[in-house]
Amino acid sequence: MKFFVLLSALGLCWAQYSPNTQQGRTSMVHLFEWRWVDIAKECERYLAPNGFGGVQISPPNENIVVNNPSRPWWERYQPISYKICTRSGNEDEFRDMVTRCNNVGVRIYVDAVINHMCGEGGGAGTSSTCGSYFNAGNREFPAVPYSGWDFNDGKCRTSSGGIENYNDAYQVRDCRLTGLLDLALEKDYVRTQIANYMNHLIDIGVAGFRLDASKHMWPGDIKAVLDKLHNLNTKWFPGGSRPFIFQE
């Protein structure tokens, strides 16, 4: 009986850290800023025939639109909401990509930006990839929704509100990274909003996540979010499979 329990525990542990690739497929490519329709074609025409195991994609959720400089890559790392709507494509195109890639044995891994929202100087209005209203100055993101209660402004120990000393773990995890509005992940409400977003992607069929800015979150907060995640979609994965997690 003890031997059986040990094997069961080992199985659960392995499921949590398995990349969920098909047997014999071990390589992952990063198709940075590619469109979902193009990734779907790449899975079918090149990646699957050549034995690739998966694709890391750019963040799929709504982000702020930056025009100065003109539409830089890093705007994708300034969330406005968790709607699937970016210049890579909309939710229908995302679903089609995940389905087509999974059907040929290529897994999708999402770059998940969950540490923060947009920058404090992001202004207010609907300059976002889905057109959702936000007010960065007032910490208002109604499309989630988040309000001022959901950020770490009162916890940061620096006068600037930003990270001033990277040798101070409290600053690194409770203050703003380059001015980005830092979410209070110790709050169950915030954890639930993030988990709901990630679970939506899991249910669509993604195989795992890269956690952006992971060193800027407390390990216990990350674990609390991961504990809320669903098992993977059994259309493509064995029952009980857990999302693969890797961190920046």
Closest to 67 (Cα-Cα) out of 78, 59, 82: 78
Token code pair at residue 111:
């770059």
Percent of the chain with pLDDT over 70: 94
How many domains in the chain? 1
Query: Which residue is it, tokens 């014999």?
Result: 24
Q: For residue 16, what pLDDT band results from cuts at 50, 70 and 90?
A: low
Report the DSSP pairing between strands 208-211 and 28-30: unpaired
Q: Which of 15-24, 35-44, 125-134 has the lowest mean pLDDT?
A: 15-24
Q: What digits encode the pLDDT tens for the residues 65-103? A: 999 999 999 999 999 999 999 999 999 999 999 999 999
Q: Give the model's pLDDT for residue 101.
A: 99
- Write down the catalytic residue from 150, 182, 212, 221: 212
pLDDT at 117 over 90: yes
- On the question of pLDDT at 50 being above 70, the answer is yes
Full-model pTM: 0.93
- Rounded to an integer, the average pLDDT of 179-186 is 98
Q: Answer yes or no: 212 catalytic.
A: yes
CB-neighbour burial class of residue 219 (10 A; exposed 0-12, middle 13-18, buried 19+): exposed
Listed in sequence order, the residues at least 6 apart from 127 whose beta carbon sits closer than 8 Å to its beta carbon are 64, 65, 67
Can you give the pLDDT at residue 26? 87
Range of the domain at 109: 2-20+27-247
- For residue 225, the surrounding DSSP H or E stretch is helix 219-226
Residue-wise pLDDT tens digits, 137-177: 999 999 999 999 999 999 999 999 999 999 999 999 999 99
| CATH code for the domain in which residue 35 is found | 3.20.20.80
Residue predicted with more confidence, 97 or 18:
97
pLDDT at 5 over 90: no
Per-residue model confidence as pLDDT tens digits over 193-234: 999 999 999 999 999 999 999 999 999 999 999 999 999 999
Mean pLDDT of the chain: 94
* Segments of the chain assigned E as strands: 28-30, 54-57, 61-63, 79-86, 89-90, 107-112, 116-119, 124-125, 134-135, 180-182, 208-211, 244-247
